[in-house]
Amino acid sequence: MKRVFALLLTLIVIFTTFGCSPAIIDIPISNSTVIIKTPEASNVTEAPVVTVMPVVTLLPTLEIVPTQTPTIKPTATALPTVKPTEKPTSTPAATEETRTSAPTSSDGKKYIALTFDDGPSTRATGRILDALEKNHAKATFFVVGMSDPPNKDSESLKAKKYALMQRAVSLGCEIGNHTMEHKHLPRLSESEIRQQVEGVNEIVKDATGSSTKLVRPPYGDKSQVVYDAVDYPLILWSIDTLDWDTRNADKTYDAVIDNARDGDIVLMHDLYTTTADAAERIIPKLIREGFTLVTVSELFKIKGIKLEAGKYYRNAY
């Protein structure tokens, strides 16, 4: 009995001191199951964050894009702001060589520069050169890169134009630069203007062996950008025959003969047969009137006016 009593006593002692021992065994298991569940739960909570939310938030940012296009429009309206700058820059006297008095040449003679734009052309340039040669006179031809844009010259036409420029130079005439594509230069960037000018320079150098020294901006359009971009004097005119508009030889002839005076620069175009008709009469008539027909560079040299890059000149008065 003593042994039975002792056994019961130890069992009682064990149960009273370690009564929670069976629970101790469960707790780690239950704890481990809790630990496993929490990452799963966190994975689940992450999923909605990743899926819908960013897509929803992207849409409004896409809607912002159209609101950015109106902000581009103001930069487009910056274009018109370029135009007003053309007007003030076209009038500043600071860049123009204006002279109140017309200095007479030291030799007392009258000089005039006939200029022909937009060529060379097979229709009129050759005939004008014939008239100049016949009368021992000179003129200046402001040539373009392409006579009939957007079509480029064929090889045979290119050869003819090269021959015309070579003949002009052989007669003592001057080849000027009227830009590649006859665009409004103030509407172009500085680099585009340079390309327009240098393109013709390359052509003329290829044809005649020397590059051009003068630039005539198409339409007489100029601006500060043009002054900055063109590294040559800009040559305008003092007599506009409007030959391109009238296509009338008599009117072209009258426009020159009725207005010609010492130091003038005359604008014509060697694109029209009517201009060639007029030139055949203008050239000998001016000589009879006492004029010496010279190139633009010669005219300014005779008048003692130094031509400068980035400035424009209407006459050599």
Stretch that binds Zn ion, among 45-53, 155-163, 212-220, 259-267 (CB under 5 A): 212-220
Q: Which is nearer to Zn ion, 218 or 263 (CB)?
A: 218
Nearer to Zn ion, 236 or 287 (CB): 236
Determine the interface stretch with Zn ion among 84-92, 109-117, 169-177, 292-300 (rule: CB under 5 A). 109-117
Name the residue with the smallest CB distance to Zn ion: 117
The residue range among 15-23, 57-65, 118-126, 128-136 that interacts with Zn ion, by the rule CB under 5 A, is: 118-126
What's the chain look like in SS3? CHHHHHHHHHHHHHHHHCCCHHHHHHHHHHHHHHHHHHHHHHHHHHHHHHHHHHHHHHHHHHHHHHHHHHHHHHHHCHHHHHHHHHHHHHCCCCCECCCCCCCCCCCCCEEEEEEEECCCCCCCHHHHHHHHHHCCCCCEEEECCCCCCCCCCCHHHHHHHHHHHHHHHHCCCEEEECCCCCCCHHHCCHHHHHHHHHHHHHHHHHHHCCCCCCECCHHHCCCHHHHHHCCCCEECCCEECCHHHHCCHHHHHHHHHCCCCCCEEEEEECCCHHHHHHHHHHHHHHHHCCEEECCHHHHHHHCCCCCCCCCEECCCC
Nearer to Zn ion, 126 or 145 (CB): 145
The CB-of-178 to Zn ion minimum distance in angstroms stands at 6
Asked if 117 is an active-site residue, the reply is yes
Nearer CB in complex with Zn ion: 15/219:
219
Single residue of 117, 264, 270, 280 touching Zn ion by CB under 5 A: 117
**Does residue 184 carry a catalytic annotation?**
no
User: C-beta of 99: minimal distance to Zn ion in Å?
Assistant: 25
- Nearest-approach distance from CB 218 to Zn ion, in angstroms: 5
Pick the catalytic residue from 178, 243, 262, 269: 269
The count of residues interacting with Zn ion (CB under 5 A) is 3
Distance in Å, CB of 182 to Zn ion, minimum: 6
Closer to Zn ion by CB, 118 or 264: give it. 118
- The tokens describing 276, both together, are 């060639």
Q: How far is the CB of 65 from Zn ion (least distance, A)?
A: 44
Please give the residue ranges that form the binding site for Zn ion (CB under 5 A).
117-118, 218
Active-site residue list: 117, 269
